Amino acid sequence: MFDTMTSTKVLGAVCGSLLVFLFAKWGGEALYHVGATGHGGHGEGEIHAAYIIETGDDSQGDAEAVDEGPDFATLLAEADVGKGASVFKKCAACHSLEAGETKTGPSLHGIVGKSVASTDGFGYSGALKAVAETWGTDELNAFLTKPKSFAPGTAMSFNGLKKDKDRANLIAYLESLGG
């Protein structure tokens, strides 16, 4: 009997102090919010703003900035021609590798080192010749990263290959075919 009474009292005391604790916590939070937003010029927004670090780097979102790996020459030297052949499937809908075979785009036979827009009988847009003379590996790399940025107005409706490795493998493949 006596034991039950004692434990009930103890339980009551514990509950009581928990309640006091909770009230103190709520009170504290309410005070904090008043303090943080109440006195002009010290809102929470401004407190957070103090921690924004200005990096000066606004290149985020550019296709070129996707991969921060080894430079392109290194990737090209280590390229996997077999993988390049499968990347070419993305181009094959519009480009043949057979000389003189025109699809939506001109034949890419011997394209590495070839003069830009030089396939006879293909109706080029003129946008490519405006920005490059010869399809060296660097020009192809730049063009294939984002065709419409490299050659504004180009008739090639292709978004580009964002991965440096894909471009390196593909260009190595095209180069391996010779011309």
Residues at the site binding ligand HEC, with contacts judged by CB under 6 A: 90-91, 93-95, 104-106, 108, 111, 116-119, 124-125, 127-128, 135, 140, 144, 154-158, 161, 170
- Cβ atoms of residues 166 and 87 within 8 Å: yes
CA-based nearest residue to 72, from 151, 175, 163: 163
Q: Which is nearer to ligand HEC, 79 or 91 (CB)?
A: 91
Q: Which is nearer to ligand HEC, 36 or 118 (CB)?
A: 118
Q: Which is nearer to ligand HEC, 70 or 113 (CB)?
A: 113
CB of 76 to ligand HEC, least distance (A): 14
| Sign of the C-alpha dihedral computed for residues 89, 93, 95 and 98 taken in this order | positive
CA-based nearest residue to 90, from 159, 139, 30, 25: 159
Q: Which is nearer to ligand HEC, 76 or 108 (CB)?
A: 108
Q: Give the C-alpha separation, 110 to 98, whole Å.
A: 9
CB of 119 to ligand HEC, least distance (A): 5
Q: Give the C-alpha separation, 100 to 108, whole Å.
A: 9
Q: Which is nearer to ligand HEC, 7 or 104 (CB)?
A: 104
CB of 77 to ligand HEC, least distance (A): 19
CB of 98 to ligand HEC, least distance (A): 14
CB of 137 to ligand HEC, least distance (A): 11
Structure tokens at 29: 């939070």
